[in-house]
Amino acid sequence: MIDGNTKVCGIIGDPIGHSLSPKMHNAAFEANNLNFVYAAFNVKKDALRDAVAGLKALGVVGFNVTIPHKVDVISYLDDLDVSVRALTAVNTVVRNGSSLVGFNTDVEGFLSPLRSRGIGLSGTKVTVLGAGGAARACVAGLSMEGCESITVLGRTVSRLRELSQALKGLAGNKMVTRPLTSNTLKETVEASDIVVNATPIGMHPNISDSPVPAELLRTDLLVYDLVYNPIKTTLLKYAESAGASMIQGYEMLVAQGAVAFRLWTQTSPPIEVMEKAALEGLGEHHEG
C-alpha cells in the first residue's frame, strides 16, 4: 500500500514501456516487506537534465538509467562509483545524502551467473561478440576475474578502437580486438573456452538469427548470450543441440537488478522472486 512514507525508485529511458524492471523490483519490494515503489518514466533526450534534477528534488531513493541516457546522465550526477570508470556508462543512480551517485551494475550482473555455477575464469580464453556498452561490461568483468585472453570481435572498427582505449588500463595485453568476419569468428571461437554474445543478434523480432553458426559450437564450450528476449535464443538452441553449456541473458538481467536493489534498500535481494517476475514479464512480451 502506497502511503505518506513510501520510498520511490524508478527507471528513466526512451522507450520505456517494455522495461521488465518495474515488475522485478516491485515484486522484490513486496517480498522483502519494504514500503518502496518502482515506476517507469519516459524521458526524452532534451528533458534529461530536468528529469534528473526533478528526481533529486523529489527525494527518490535511486533510479535505473537505460537507453539513450546511460552516458549523458553522467554530467548531471554529483559523484561516480569506481564501477563506472572503464565503462563510462551509468545504469543505476543511488541517493547518498543530498548527492546522486552513479553506478554500473552490469559487470557484477554479468559475473554473477558464472559465479553461481562455480565457473572460474582464471586461465580461460573468451570470445566477446560486439563492441558496445554491454561488451565493455563483459571485458571489464572477464579481466578482473583473470581470463587468459579476451578477443573482442566487432563489425565497426571505430567502436572496437573506442572499447580498446577505454579498457586497456584494466585488460592490458589480455584483450585483442578484431573485425568480425566469418574467418575471424571461426578462428576465435575454435580457440575459445567461452563465447559471449554482446550484440543484439537474435533479439526479438529477429529471433531466427544467430551470431554464431551451429557448426562452430561444441560440447566443451560455454555459450553466454546476453540477449534475453526471447528467453532461449537461436544461439542457445544451437548450443544446447551441440551439448555446450549455456547461460541465458535473463540471468544477467536479474543479477544486475539485484545489485541495484541491494544498493537502494540495503537488504538482501530476493533473487528467485525477481527471476520469476522477469520471466513472467518476458512471457507476456512474447504473447504481446
- Applying CB under 6 A, does 155 fall inside the site for ligand NAP? yes
Determine phi and psi for 132, rounding to 5 degrees. Answer: -95, -160
CA-to-CA dists, residue 110 to 31, 186, 247, angstroms: 24, 24, 10
- Applying CB under 6 A, does 134 fall inside the site for ligand NAP? yes
Count the alpha carbons within 13 Å of 213 in the hemisphere toward its beta carbon: 10
| Number of shown-chain residues binding ligand NAP (CB under 6 A) | 25
CB 264 within 8 A of CB 94: yes
- Applying CB under 6 A, does 132 fall inside the site for ligand NAP? yes
CA–CA distance, 170 with 168 (Å, rounded to integer): 5
Interface segment toward ligand NAP; rule CB under 6 A; list 78-86, 220-228, 259-267, 274-282: 220-228
Q: Which of residues 90-119 bind ligand NAP (CB under 6 A)?
A: 106, 109
- Out of 23, 56, 70, 174, which one is annotated catalytic? 70
The binder of ligand NAP chosen from 113, 249, 269, 281 (CB under 6 A)? 249
CA-to-CA dists, residue 150 to 114, 118, 215, angstroms: 16, 20, 22
| CB closer to ligand NAP out of 78 and 162 | 162
Give the three cell numbers for residue 179: 573485425
Question: Would you call 70 a catalytic residue per the annotation?
Answer: yes
Min. distance of Cβ 102 from ligand NAP in angstroms? Answer: 16
Residues lying near ligand NAP in the complex (CB under 6 A) are found at: 106, 109, 130-135, 154-156, 159, 180, 198-201, 203, 226-228, 249, 252-253, 256
